[in-house]
Amino acid sequence: MIGILRTGGYVPPVVVDNTAIAEWSGVDEEWIRSRTGVFERRYGENDTAASDLAYAACIDLLGTDRAAWPRISGIIVATSTGDQPQPATAAILQDKLELYGVPAFDVNAVCAGYLFALNTAAGLLDRGLDREGAVLVVGVDMYSRILDRRDVRTVSLFGDGAGATLVGVVPEGYGITASRLSTDGRLHPLVGVPGGGSARPLDPGAWEAGEQFFRMDGRAVRDHVLSALPKLIEQVLGECGLAPKDLDRVIFHQANMRMIEAFIDALGVDPARVPVTAPRYGNTGAASIPITLHEAHLERPLRRGETILLAGVGGGISSGATVVKWY
């Protein structure tokens, strides 16, 4: 069986509160608070890249004493805001960690990316990747770099951060017990950055049109997610013979507090079992699930045998739900 062995996390030091968002967007602070449930976000400093945040999260996980590090078999980074279009941010992270030779690559399922990366790591370990070692699975995003600060619909929600997990072999009966991943590509126009790729290079006209900025049709995304994700969760719980009441903790993607509250109602789970980081960090993209898992573990350590649901959505529209028996 493959499971999560350790967690780590990092958020950058610059705090962006709702006063700043109101000044940028021209929208009242109370509107921002009531619509999003977000009070603060963290932004990386100007000389910081996604790989820097990822490195800090990995050091939080591994420690500063390299001699005590476990054997690392691979590095998978989930991000949609990497250091540069190529090479993979995972390769840059590998260089910073000096873990040369192991496979290192990125996964982009936007905010659902961590779940896709986690299951990719599990599949590689199941298929013979060095099982004596473990895979670093990192979710990192820096949405501060791609936000139009005048657009309150996006700038009010997103922040920067990184979460890291060590994924490896655990005893039978523990680890990932069921998982479902899904993408509905018909909805890809709802979330994304239109410019900067081969379809729409960032020429002067694209810059003037603001195509370098992140865009989202929030209402359409919400309607789809509140229909699709509960069904996906129902399927994955059914595979395990579980009901929502059997879950010890539920780690949702931290889209915003109103969305999380809607998920709690739809799932019928006790809110006390649903840790949240959105009020103080906002939506950290692919980092939100591993950051929230890490902070939940710090606040109230996960105990062996606890049943945890990880669930989230991202651009694409991609969705994922994974049940983990903690070891």
Catalytic residues, by residue number, are: 111, 253, 283
SS3 content of the chain, % helix, strand, coil (to 5): 40, 25, 35
94: enclosing H helix or E strand: helix 89-97
Q: Are 152 and 23 in contact (CB under 8 A)?
A: no
Q: Which residues touch 267 (CB under 8 Å, ≥6 apart)?
A: 230, 233, 244, 250
**290: nearest Cα among 94, 69, 1, 54:** 54
Q: 3-class DSSP state for residue 3? A: strand
Amino acid (1-letter code) at residue 198: S
Residue among 310, 223, 226 at smallest CA distance from 262: 226
Q: How far apart are CA 197 and CA 170, in angstroms?
A: 40
Which H or E run includes 41? strand 40-43
Spatial separation of the C-alpha atoms in residues 243 and 260, rounded to whole Å: 19
Neighbour tally for 258: CB within 10 Å: 14
175: left (phi over 0), alpha (psi -120 to 50) or beta: left
